[in-house]
């Protein structure tokens, strides 16, 4: 399985508006994407997190190149700041496990 954990901290009202305007279409596409096993959302410490688990890295990469996801990623600097981390695993992670990985290994985008 391939796990992707993201966290974005929107800046101000405009950042929040952009976040929701771009996140809703991207998340709907992720939930329907081929190879998706889990797609959930949570907030922690003012960050809006996404946890997705895929059958393998290949379907995740196909989703990453989808128009809705590309549109969202191109606007990150206008939304706020955050980090992303992806990794291979044999077991479905809990939110706590995924966020520990994100805290330790996440790279800023």
Average pLDDT, the chain: 93
Residue-level pLDDT at 109: 77
On the 0-12 / 13-18 / 19+ scale of CB atoms within 10 A, 34 is exposed
Over the Cα atoms of the chain, what is R_g? 13
Give 78-101 pLDDT, tens digit per residue: 899 999 999 999 999 999 999 999
Residue matched to tokens 């992670």? 93
pTM recorded for the entire structure: 0.89
CATH architecture of the domain 2-108 equals: 2-Layer Sandwich (3.30)
Q: Over range 50-75, report the average pLDDT.
A: 91
Looking only at the bridges linking them, the beta strands covering 47-54 and 36-44 are antiparallel
Domain residue extents for the chain: 2-108
What residues have CB less than 8 Å from 26, skipping those under 6 apart?
A: 66, 68, 69, 71, 72
- The DSSP secondary-structure symbol of 65 reads T
Q: Over range 71-78, report the average pLDDT.
A: 85
């Amino acid at each position: 399985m391939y796990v992707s954990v993201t966290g974005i901290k929107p800046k101000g009202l405009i950042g929040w508006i952009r976040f929701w305007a771009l996140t809703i279409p991207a998340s709907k596409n992720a939930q329907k994407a081929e190879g998706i096993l889990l797609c959930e959302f949570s907030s922690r410490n003012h960050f809006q997190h996404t946890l997705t688990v895929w059958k393998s890295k290949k379907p995740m990469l196909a989703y990453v190149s989808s128009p809705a996801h590309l549109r969202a990623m191109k606007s990150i600097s206008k939304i706020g700041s955050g980090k992303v981390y992806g990794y291979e695993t044999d077991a479905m992670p809990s939110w706590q496990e995924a966020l520990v990985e994100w805290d330790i290994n996440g790279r800023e985008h």
